[in-house]
Structure 1
Amino acid sequence: MRMFDLFYDDFFKMKRQDILSAISQSEGRTLMCETIISTFPLLDGVSNPETAAAFSADMITLNTFNFDAPFIFGYDDSKISPYHGIPEYVKSFEDIVRRNLSNENYIQDFKKIVGRFLGVNLEPVPENSTYPAGLRCSEKNLEKVKKLGFDYIVITANPNTGVTSQGITDGIRRARKILGEDFLIVAGKMHGAGAGNIYDQETIKNFVSAGADIILIPAPGTVPGFTVELVKGFVDSIHNEGALAMTTIGTSQEGSTESFIESVAQMSKMAGADVQHTGDAGVSGMTPPENILRLSITMRGRRHTYRRMARSSHR
């Protein structure tokens, strides 16, 4: 089945090979949205992943999800309100986090609300990093990824993390060992975060050899110098190594104009992307909904966009 043909129940049945097959059969018409869940959402009382799903995302990645303090704004705090007093509102977070830590079905319960494939960002930071332990690509967190039931992970670099291409390679290898062969792994960098330049043929080969299924690269027109021709060369290399390619908008341009989003979607399709991604640096931790919609309509047309939006509920 193609990604945009999936019904609600399908998102709970499919594993690595099924998801990869759905992406491949979709011929460049799969949409991933990345959302920050550790800040107030765009819409009060509605989490950013829910909004992204409503506007046609197929795959939704949680950024800044802390495995040591699991909490999703707009979901966990939907029944409490800061309007009744900030001290009481903040105080209630401790009880919610404590409850979430003991709930092995936490992500699966959330997924029932979102109805999409759910992934999480993990950072393979250097050992001497001050980065929060709950956000790292560590053995401890990878075990929790498997236990909580995420569908995929994205091994990448947020700004100022010091993550290198070797660090990402090591993280992929660690993840594949712990998560096994039925789990989907996405890896790469979408902009100048971390440390060093990872965009060369040898690095792509190393990522795939380590166990990555989808390699992410900047979309044309996002990182300076990334033309359609350059990105197509990387996409061809990724395909030659047997992996799928994802172009990403992660340079805060996800909050740009709809016309820009449309042009990036067209260029990414010309470059051969299997998945198109839009990031979390638009407004309030996500891409503006109208830009998600424009990206989706450009890459797969109104028919499949509206079908994805309409197939959000359980039948």
Structure 2
Amino acid sequence: MKRIFELTTKDIESLSKKELKQIIATSEGRTVVSETIVSYTPYIREVSNLELAASFGADMITLNTFNFNAPFIWGVHPEIDAMQGMGELVKKLEKQIADNLVDTDYIRKLKKMVGRLIGVNLEPVPEGSTYEPGYCLSRENLERALAYGFDYIVLTGNPNTGVTHETICEGIKLAKEVLGEEVLIIAGKMHGAGSGNLYDVACVKDFVECGADIVLFPAPGTVPGFDLELAKQMTNTIHEAGALAMTTIGTSQEGSSESVIEQMALLSKMAGADIQHIGDCGTFGMALPENIKTLSIAIRGIRHTYRRMAQSILR
């Protein structure tokens, strides 16, 4: 069985949920997830943030603010340039979004383009929320995620969404019902987004019992009081419950110095994390690209990192 950083585009196209989970589990804590805000224009003009993240060593790419009611990702449609005249731009955007709504291969095409596993954030917001419906967890959006061919979904909370431990639990149950054994379910809280941080170890066990395949929590050093010992407790509890553990850098420290990223990466590995996530606000909709590479090198060295980077070109 290949390790996560050895997978080719062809491998990814045929992976089952069970196989993917097993591959991550046997990759010895060397899986890198990069999150990108797809509603922003790209960090580098004419290159999507997905391609940039892949080229700097990411194995998995999570789309944040992907709108299921108006699906569109800046940077993957070269004919649509924000520098165009406004009238022409709006016309092209409307047509592309209309096409994407009926193109169930939209995400599958992106996976072929970047050669990486692709997931999407869905916000399990409380009832009565005014948050953009296209970003929210719902039966309809879950069915669309399944149809598009996403490899995984992430149930968490962006700032000011009102997401809580309880709404995440209910969201996991709904996701499990709709997605079954087709799509990996990742759930948890990266920081105080929504309604406060989660420090209670029992919370992560609840997420597993509700059906999460992977549970996320803050990397040591990202939120106040989250240190190596607490991260170890979280990881051990998740593993004992039968799931995988993912540490996250989601506090805009994805834009910190490389030495800070290295420390967080090593502490997360000491804690036993199976996956390490780096967030989307280091710069314009993604981590500083060099910090993705730094994270990768810290947990798996130059040999595996450079091969991963080269696989963005060599499919």
What's the TM-score once normalised by structure 1's chain length? 0.97
- Structure 2 residue 187 is matched with structure 1 residue 187: yes
User: Residues 66-125 of structure 1, C-alpha deviation per residue, up to 9 Å, x if partnerless?
Assistant: 00000000013x213343423322332111111111111111111111110000000010
- 1:171 pairs with 2:161: no
d(CA) in 1 for partners of 2:81, 2:215: 40
Kept in 1, the 8 Å contact 2:9–2:111? The answer is no
Question: Partners in 2 of 1:285 and 1:108 — Cα distance?
Answer: 22
d(CA) in 2 for partners of 1:36 and 1:112?
Answer: 20
Structure 1: give runs of 5+ residues left out of the alignment. Answer: none
* Structure 1 letter corresponding to 2:97: V
Aligned counterpart, 1:69: 70
Q: Secondary structure at the match of 1:312?
A: coil
Could you give the per-residue CA deviations for residues 10-53 of structure 1, whole angstroms, max 9, x where no partner exists?
11111211111111111010000000000111011111111101
Contact 1:161–1:194 at 8 Å: present in 2 too?
yes
Q: State the distance in 1 between where 2:87 and 2:173 align.
A: 44
Q: For the aligned residues, what is the CA RMSD?
A: 1.2
Deviates more, 1:155-164 or 1:7-16: 7-16
**1:164–1:198: 8 Å Cα contact kept in structure 2?**
no
Q: Which residue of 2 aligns with 1:291?
A: 291
Runs of 4+ in structure 1 over 6 Å off: none
Whole-angstrom distance in 2 between the partners of 1:80 and 1:141: 25
Checking the alignment, whether the CA contact within 8 Å between 1:165 and 1:197 is kept in structure 2 is no
Of all paired residues, the percent bearing the same amino acid is 57
Rounded to whole Å, the distance in 2 between the matches of 1:81 and 1:201 is 46
Give the match for residue 205 of structure 2. Answer: 205
Structure 1 match to 2:19: 18
Q: TM-score, normalised by structure 2?
A: 0.97
- CA distance change for structure 1 residues 82 and 132 in 2, over 3 Å: closer, same or farther? closer
Relative to structure 1, is the Cα distance of residues 81 and 273 closer, same or farther in structure 2, using a 3 angstrom cutoff? Answer: same
Which has the higher mean CA deviation after the structures are superposed, 141-150 or 193-202? 193-202
1:119-138 matches, within 5 Å, as 119-138=119-138
Task: For 2:298 and 2:168, locate their aligned partners in 1 and report how far apart those are by CA, in whole Å.
Answer: 31
Q: Deviations over 1:221-245 (max 9, x none)?
A: 0001111111111111111111110
Amino acid at match of 2:37: I
Residue correspondences, number: 314
Quote how far apart the aligned CAs of 1:314 are: 5.8
CA contact (8 A) 1:165 1:196 kept: no
Residue 198 of structure 1 and its aligned partner are, at CA, apart by 3.0
Q: Equivalents in 1 of 2:118, 2:257: separation in Å?
A: 27
